[in-house]
Amino acid sequence: MPVWDVADEVVNLTRTQIEQKKQKVILDMPAGLPKALCDRNRLSQILTNLISNANKYTPEGGVIQVEAMQANSMIQIKVQDNGLGMTPEDQEKLFSKFFRSADEKIREAPGTGLGLSITKNLIELQGGKIWFESEFR
């Protein structure tokens, strides 16, 4: 299944949220990218969770970039934003169920703390891995 189709569909579904914060989404996927062998509905849920998460924690006017590339026999998808970043303490708990940062600025964003835990499980069920890089500002 073409990753571009699913990513474009998710961006269109989350467009209202993104436009409310005057954010910009950039889709960067090479034309020759092989099709992914995965469950389309799960990929859609994964991308929805990651893009919604980026939207929540990126300030007004920020940029969210969704990039896909071939990495050996896998397709690697990167969702990058210019949000607040995370403390080292928060980074240790990021994929834990119900985790919410103690930082007041970060807690302003609504949520249950389940999105990234669910996302991690969905990715691992399909043989993938999830990781993050963050700079605390």
pLDDT tens-digit readout, 116-132: 999 999 999 999 999 99
In a domain, 130, yes or no: no
Q: Would 133 be classed as within a structural domain?
A: no
Confidence class for position 94, pLDDT limits 50, 70, 90: very high
Copy the structure tokens of residue 130.
């999830």
Domain that holds residue 38: 3-125
Element (H, E) at 63: strand 63-71
List all residues 6 or more positions away from 52 whose beta carbon is below 8 Å from its beta carbon: 14, 17, 115
Q: pLDDT tens digits, residue range 96-106? A: 999 988 877 77
132 falls within a domain = no
134 is a domain residue: no
Domain count, the chain: 1
Q: Is 113 helix (H, G, I), strand (E, B) or coil?
A: coil
First to last CA, the chain: 38
Average the pLDDT over 66-89 and give the result.
92
For tokens 């999105």, name the residue: 115
Give the largest Cα separation in the chain, rounded.
Answer: 43
Helix (H) or strand (E) segment spanning residue 68: strand 63-71
pLDDT at 112: 87
Residue 35 inside a domain? The answer is yes
- Using one digit for the tens of pLDDT, what is the confidence trace for 14-68? 999 999 999 999 999 998 899 999 999 999 999 999 999 999 999 999 999 999 9
Residue predicted with more confidence, 119 or 108: 119
pLDDT at 137 over 90: no
pLDDT tier for residue 113 given thresholds of 50, 70 and 90: confident
Q: What is the CATH number of the domain that holds 40?
A: 3.30.565.10
